[in-house]
Chains A and B, each alone.
Chain A
Amino acid sequence: AQSVAQPEDQVNVAEGNPLTVKCTYSVSGNPYLFWYVQYPNRGLQFLLKYITGDNLVKGSYGFEAEFNKSQTSFHLKKPSALVSDSALYFCAVRVHGSGNTGKLIFGQGTTLQVKP
């Protein structure tokens, strides 16, 4: 079965420190991988994606993510966290292939708390 796992319900970091939010996936075929952020009482906003090419992808607000095929991971990172980065983060995967309608499978979400 295809799935996405975010093993941490919450990640706490101090402002200015690097942050990592973890994501692993299990799919058949080549994955398209996404990170979304949700601020309180808002919809999800797209952060970045991996489709093909360079394993390190850069996205909005200084975030980046590294695709690791051997470890089936797509961890979200930022070199220096801001208090305003505090939000709920979702990893999602879409399998690309024939007959695919592009459905996304979401992880359960990780709350990032950045303390001043």
Chain B
Amino acid sequence: NAGVTQTPKFQVLKTGQSMTLQCAQDMNHEYMSWYRQDPGMGLRLIHYSVGAGITDQGEVPNGYNVSRSTTEDFPLRLLSAAPSQTSVYFCASRTDRGNTYEQYFGPGTRLTVT
């Protein structure tokens, strides 16, 4: 198992540009989430999905879109990048099968918006 993979690892964007952060998991997990990590603020939930075709907003969804067309993939789209979106982005997945509950995190994408 590769677990949760994210691409790219690093990205620099100019204000107003758009891009997609990729996330994939090979564990057949139902739940997938996107978080952003900023110093002193922990991880904040952007969007999440409870299964293919179902997504919902988290704590800080503005400026981001998601879709979940397959169980494996959960891309995060920045529509028009802003400096406030400079952050480290983590994708995570989990399953409730077997009463495990813990989330598995990808290695992160470090995004800088200038």
Contact = CB atoms under 8 A, between A and B. Distances in A.
Interface in A43-75: 43-46, 49, 51
Nearest to B31: A102
Contacts of B94: 102
B31 A108 contact: no
B33 to A, nearest CB: 8
A106 to B, nearest CB: 4
Contact of B56 (A36, A51, A101, A109): A101
Query: For chain B, which range describes its interface: under 10, 10 to 19, 20 to 34, or 35 or more residues?
Result: 20 to 34
Contact of B103 (A101, A104, A107, A109): A104
B42 A108 contact: yes
A43 B40 contact: no
B74 interface: no
Nearest to A43: B105
Contacts of A4: 42
Given A42-B107, A44-B90, A90-B42, A49 B102 contact: yes
Given A51-B99, A101-B48, A101-B50, A44 B42 contact: no
A24 B31 CA distance: 26
A9 B42 CA distance: 11
